[in-house]
């Protein structure tokens, strides 16, 4: 199973592709889609949409996991992040990819085992799970990989529950 994890943002949208075989998680590709400040919003959204779509086409994920927008004190930032999430979800939907959404609490719980874990703890667990030599930078990339790991864990549990209920 190949999962694309996304930490959406208008300036930086982190992404991470991982493969899950049994209990083994393997990083495939990760990085960030970055847009320039002072560029019109519609151009930034188009760049995110096209870049996300190109990544999906190139790495062919089975599913996409996106971090849910969490309360943000800056309404303007929250709207921009919501719009970035929207164009990424649209790119996935156009390709027929299932999209799962996770709150930051769910991601932390899945990756660290504690929903109020510090960012650094999540980053170190991402590094450990994926056997990386360093924590991916910028932070948005490590966050995207954490979302992908969360989905990989959740998808396994959902599959087991479905198997039991079918029996």
The runs of H, that is alpha helices, within the chain are 41-59, 75-94, 104-112, 119-129, 139-166
Give the whole-angstrom CA distance, residue 19 versus residue 29. 10
Catalytic residue positions, numbered: 7, 67, 140
3-state secondary structure at position 90: helix
Residue the block writes with tokens 């209990």:
23
CB-based contact 46:35 (threshold 8 Å): no
């Amino acid at each position: 199973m190949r999962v694309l994890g996304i930490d959406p943002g208008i300036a930086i949208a982190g992404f991470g592709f991982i493969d899950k075989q049994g209990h083994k998680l393997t990083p495939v590709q990760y990085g960030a889609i970055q847009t320039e400040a002072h560029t019109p919003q519609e151009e930034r959204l188009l760049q995110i949409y096209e870049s996300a779509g190109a990544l999906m086409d190139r790495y062919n994920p089975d599913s996409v996991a996106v971090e849910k927008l969490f309360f943000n004190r800056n309404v303007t930032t929250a709207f921009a992040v919501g719009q970035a999430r929207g164009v990424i979800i649209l790119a996935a939907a156009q390709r027929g990819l299932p999209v799962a959404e996770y709150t930051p609490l769910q991601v932390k719980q899945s990756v660290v085992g504690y929903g109020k874990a510090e960012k650094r703890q999540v980053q170190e667990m991402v590094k450990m799970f994926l056997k990386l030599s360093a924590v991916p930078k910028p932070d948005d990339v490590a966050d995207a990989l954490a979302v992908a790991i969360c989905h990989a864990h959740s998808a396994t549990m959902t599959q087991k529950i479905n198997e039991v209920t079918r029996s």
